[in-house]
Structure formats: structure tokens, C-alpha cells
Amino acid sequence: MILSVEALTKNFAGLVAVNALSIQVRRNSITALIGPNGAGKTTALNLITGVLRPTAGRVLLKGADITGRSPHSIASNGMTRTYQNLQMFEGMTVLETVMVGAHRVGRSTWLAALLRAPSVVAEEKDLRNRAMAALDRAGVPASYSGRVAAELPYGWQRRVEIARAIASGVDMLLLDEPAAGLNNQESETMAQLICELREGGTTVLLVEHDMNLVMGISDQVIVMNFGQLLSQGTPDQVQNDPAVVEAYLGKGAEAADAVA
């Protein structure tokens, strides 16, 4: 397992947002974390990636305990994420935006950068190449590299954000609603991109409300409700779990058919 979450718990002033959540994610797989609004999905993601500190429990990444560590430190261990709300930098080009992610693997000191040492020039070239490769992997045309990232159509901004995460060289990528705001065609191409990431060796954990996307590409589906684990298994197993149909997908055969 690349990721193990053990009895993860988060309390907010007496409210239990995540309650003893235990899940595992296999390497080179796509795992979807789903549930009703307020189920605790994004809070769980924030706990796993170090945005929030847990009240109890622990998170293991590749066997190492990363519980409560900073997002930067966790990224250094091989895991990063994207956000539901796009995080574009004002005025930066697509290439510059993705190079922000690539700089995680840079080794030059601030003094060497200030003096423009030959090693810095060589490293900057390498990071630029890494960023361009990430854009290619995310399906962003090279011709877009000089455009202002924040001015691209929404669907392309989603891909740029994923490219920035890819450029950091991580083994595992957490995606918070990657299909949010996309039309049907864009959602289909996003699903294809996520599958290509898995085929390229990246493990993916995603929070998503698009059930067609989730059930179409996931190796494992984990369902949360009221901060707790409700169900987990293959897409077929989860779709046929009466507790999931009632609590999340809605009652009756029509709800089950809607995500078949």
C-alpha cells in the first residue's frame, strides 16, 4: 500500500468532522472518495495532506509516518494535491505556473541564484524542460506555455493545475473535484487524463461528485457519511451496497441506474 490512514479523527469545537477513518490506497491505482455534502471528504483530504492536523489517528505514506507534517514536507515524501478552487497565480504564464511545481526538486541556494551561478542556469533549464514535459503529460499544448494561466478557459486551467502537481515529481496525487465546473466533454477528457496518470505510474486519490467519472475509472471507491467510513470496494460492489444507495445515491432502483 502506498497510503494507509489509521483511525483518523478531526474535532472542531465538539463537532466530529472525521471519525476514526481507516482506509488504504494501493500503489498505481485510482481510488475515489465519495459521499454527500458535509460527509467529511475534503476534511479527510486536508488531514492526509497536512493542511489540517488530526485530533487522533495517523497517516502513513510509503510506510513513513507523515501525520501532522506540513504540506511542503509531505510533498518532499512524494504526495501532493490539487484544490477544488483553482489556485492560479496572477499574471504568471502557463509555463511559469507549472515551473512553480518543478522548483520543488531544485537544489540551488538563494545565494547561487542571486549570483546566477552556472549551476543555477543549468538547473533552470532542467526545470523548464520538466515543466514542459508535465504540460505535455497533462495534455496542454506547448503553444499555450506563454499564455497567462489565469486567462485560459476553466477546463484548461484544471489541466495546468494538474501539470503543476505532476512537475513536482510525486508518486501520489490527490485531486479535489477535478471535474467540478467542466462540461460533459471536458469531464470525459479529464477521466482519460486521470487514467493516463495511473498508467504512467502515478497513484491517484480523488474526491469527486461526478458519479459517471468515478464509477467509470476507479479501481476502488470509498464512501463516507457523517465523517465515517460507510462502504468501500469496487465500483460494482459500492453501487450495489444498499447503505450507499440509501445514504448517498438516493433510494430505489432509479438512483442505482443513474450511476450504472
Q: What is the mean pLDDT of residues 168-192?
A: 93
Q: Which pLDDT does position 260 carry in this prediction?
A: 37
**Nearest CA-CA partner of 259 in 223, 224, 215, 221:** 215
Q: Determine the 3-state secondary structure of 104 from DSSP.
A: helix
Q: Angle at which helices 94-102 and 154-167 pack, to 10 degrees?
A: 30
Give per-residue pLDDT as tens, 92-128.
999 999 998 886 655 554 444 444 555 556 668 888 9
- φ, ψ for residue 255, nearest 5 deg: -65, -40
Neighbours of 96 (CB within 10 A): 16
Q: Which pLDDT does position 103 carry in this prediction?
A: 67
Give per-residue pLDDT as tens, 67-91.
999 998 999 899 999 988 887 888 9
Q: Determine the 3-state secondary structure of 230 from DSSP.
A: strand
Q: Which pLDDT does position 163 carry in this prediction?
A: 95
Q: Give me the residue label for grid cell 505510474.
A: 201
List strands edge to edge, sheet with 64-65: 15-25, 3-12, 56-61, 64-65
Q: Give me the residue label for grid cell 533549464.
A: 125
Q: Which pLDDT does position 119 carry in this prediction?
A: 58
Q: Which pLDDT does position 109 carry in this prediction?
A: 47
Cα separation, 187 vs 190, in Å, equals 5
**Nearest CA-CA partner of 49 in 80, 16, 4, 82:** 80
Mean residue pLDDT across the chain: 88
Cα separation, 56 vs 207, in Å, equals 22
Q: What is the mean pLDDT of residues 118-145?
A: 86
Structural domains of the chain, ranges and CATH numbers in brackets: 1-78+170-260 (3.40.50.300), 88-169 (no CATH)
CB 152 within 8 A of CB 85: no
Q: Determine the 3-state secondary structure of 134 from DSSP.
A: helix
Q: Which pLDDT does position 111 carry in this prediction?
A: 42
